[in-house]
Amino acid sequence: MAGTKTIDADVAIVGCGVAGLYCALNLPHALRVVLLAKTTVDECDSMLAQGGICVLHDPDDYESFFEDTLRAGHYENRLESVDMMIRASRPIIDDLIKRGVRFARTATGELDYTREGAHSRPRIVYHEDITGEEITTHLLACVRELPNATVFENTCMTDILEGFDADGRRVCRGIVAEDAGGAHLQVNADATVLATGGVGGLYKHSTNYPCLTGDGCRVAAEHGVLLEHMDFVQIHPTTLWTQKPGRSFLISESARGEGAILLNDAHERFCDELQPRDVVSGNILREMRREGAEHVWLSFERVPREELEHHFTHICEQCREEGYDIFSEPIPVVPAQHYFMGGIHVNSDSETTLPHLFAAGETCCNGVHGRNRLASNSLLEGLVFAQRAADKIMRDRFAADTAAQLAVAASERSRFVAGSRDVTDVALLCGAE
């Protein structure tokens, strides 16, 4: 392409949310990694996640964590994916802590656990009401220190590149992108990971950044890559009602987990606040319709003042800026688009149906969430399956290197061994399993 800057890399990662960053961090330093952020690196939804990140509380929690995830997802989840996510959760949290991520602690220094809707027990670790920012900022700092990774901001993927492998199969060969000044970039890469986030930018009322417009899904669809459950869109029950335009401000579900209650105009409770999100959103919208109201109310009167001050600091601040004092009055809340459970179909190694093309995070569908995601499973799912993508890229690379070495060995040996030999024969000759 004329006037196009071309970079040769081993892995191209599109998106700098937790999925993209964690994939980069789990790749060996020997691989050259290029990451793209469509706008600035802070404009990703991972930064906005408030409530926390789920973790298997203890081995006895496995069954109920599994069941809670399935019940929220209407039992349309992929069981294998749910199992992988839950089993990987504790090592992931340990790794985040090693990387410097701070989670709330009890007075005795143990991890503190909060609760959100549809969780049968507290199993969510958190950092104030800005858990996503805490995790993403640390991962970003770690990526910035990688000797093998380069981050391009304000660079939007416009397409993926296709080619053919040695067996004549169509494969992904990297991406093309455009920066804010209109300059073109081509990244040739053996593996490409789409971690482009969700679709909230396509909605009038969403908690997502407007730049999140489903780019990964669009490009995948244009290349005939399988998409799945494109109608599985989650509406979060509580965002701060406002007449101002722009992104809807989330009022974390952990507020209800810690005792906040929903009220109608007559200041009566009208639903169980700790049901799954789709159920609570449905109840709110019905109540609004019944009353002809533009919102309902969320009251913090049952949440201890200390909890409000220390756990919900940023929500308190944002409400104060909008003219509400959550210590003394209910705030107006309304449901808004929040999350996308469908997306690019991937297997449990985050591979799409186009070889060498992976997808992780909100842009993909690995089936963990079923029809409706359980609160605080998103950061965890993004991290677990980004790590699995990195592991698979590494295994493929090792297999390719081994195959190349074996091919060299084969040609060497063919001087001594009569007849042609394929890699398997040579592997046997070399004593490989």
Binding site for ligand SIN (CB under 6 A): 49-51, 250, 252-254, 339, 375-376, 378
Contact in structure between 7 and 186 (CB atoms under 8 Å): yes
Q: Where are the beta strands (DSSP E) in 136-232?
A: 149-152, 155-164, 170-179, 184-188, 191-194, 227-228
With respect to ligand SIN, which residue has the nearer C-beta, 174 or 330? 330
To ligand SIN, the closest distance from the beta carbon of 331 in angstroms equals 15
Cα 19 from Cα 167, distance rounded (Å): 30
With respect to ligand SIN, which residue has the nearer C-beta, 260 or 410? 260
Helix then strand then coil, % of the chain, to nearest 5:
35, 20, 45
Among residues 78, 256, 277, 421, the one annotated as catalytic is 277
To ligand SIN, the closest distance from the beta carbon of 115 in angstroms equals 11
| The Cα angle at residue 393 between residues 352 and 213, in degrees rounded to 5 | 45
The alpha carbon of residue 412 and the mean position of all alpha carbons in its chain are separated, in whole angstroms, by 47
Cα 163 from Cα 196, distance rounded (Å): 22
To ligand SIN, the closest distance from the beta carbon of 126 in angstroms equals 9
Residue nearest to ligand SIN (CB): 51
To ligand SIN, the closest distance from the beta carbon of 163 in angstroms equals 38
Contact in structure between 147 and 398 (CB atoms under 8 Å): no
With respect to ligand SIN, which residue has the nearer C-beta, 250 or 406? 250
Residue 40, class by beta-carbon neighbours within 10 Å (0-12 exposed, 13-18 middle, 19+ buried)?
exposed
To ligand SIN, the closest distance from the beta carbon of 216 in angstroms equals 19
Cα 77 from Cα 370, distance rounded (Å): 4
With respect to ligand SIN, which residue has the nearer C-beta, 198 or 367? 198
Active site residue 277: yes
With respect to ligand SIN, which residue has the nearer C-beta, 350 or 378? 378
Q: What is each CA distance from 61 to 112, 122, 125, 425, in whole angstroms?
A: 16, 10, 15, 48
**Active site members:** 277
